[in-house]
Amino acid sequence: QVQLQESGPGLVRPSETLSLTCTVSGDSVNSYFWSWIRQPPGKGLEWIGYIAYSGSTKYNPSLNSRVTISVDTSKNQFSLKLGSVTAADTAVYYCARYLVRVGLHAFDIWGQGTMVTVSS
């Protein structure tokens, strides 16, 4: 059974870089696409970006200049870095598997989420 678990600091200072890691168990990061999605308190879901099994990345243009997603195959993890954060980046951050098959393109497995607060 595939499981994802986010980890990282729960508090980040304004203007600094938010760094999160997602540990994948039951599957290999060398397969599929691996995404980050966030949800501000009381609000909806925003796709941040993904990294493919090939190592290629795709980011939301609204965050493009501040986002980096990378993968560490030796640890079976993928990571998110979001620079120059402000209070608007306060959210629950989810990692998720984006499954791509014939007739299926969806986020089928999610981590439990981790709350990140941007505050001094």
Partner 1 sequence: DIQMTQSPSSLSASVGDRVTVTCRASQTITNFLNWYQQKPGKAPNLLIYTAANLQSGVPSRFSGSGSGTNFTLTISSLQSEDFATYYCQQSYITPHTFGQGTKLEI
Q: Name the residues that contact partner 1, by CB under 8 A.
A: 44-47, 58, 60-62, 94, 96, 103-108, 110-113
Query: Shortest gap between Cβ of 105 and partner 1 (angstroms)?
Result: 4
Cα–Cα dist 46/39, whole Å: 6
Query: Shortest gap between Cβ of 43 and partner 1 (angstroms)?
Result: 8
Nearer to partner 1, 16 or 58 (CB): 58
Query: Shortest gap between Cβ of 3 and partner 1 (angstroms)?
Result: 12
- Dihedral sign computed on CA atoms, order 58, 9, 16, 115: positive
| Main-chain phi, psi angles of 37, to 5 degrees | -135, 145
Nearer to partner 1, 19 or 63 (CB): 63
Query: Shortest gap between Cβ of 111 and partner 1 (angstroms)?
Result: 7
Max CA separation in the chain (angstroms)? 47
* Strand-strand pairing, 3-7 and 18-25: antiparallel
Nearer to partner 1, 13 or 115 (CB): 115
| Main-chain phi, psi angles of 66, to 5 degrees | -110, -5
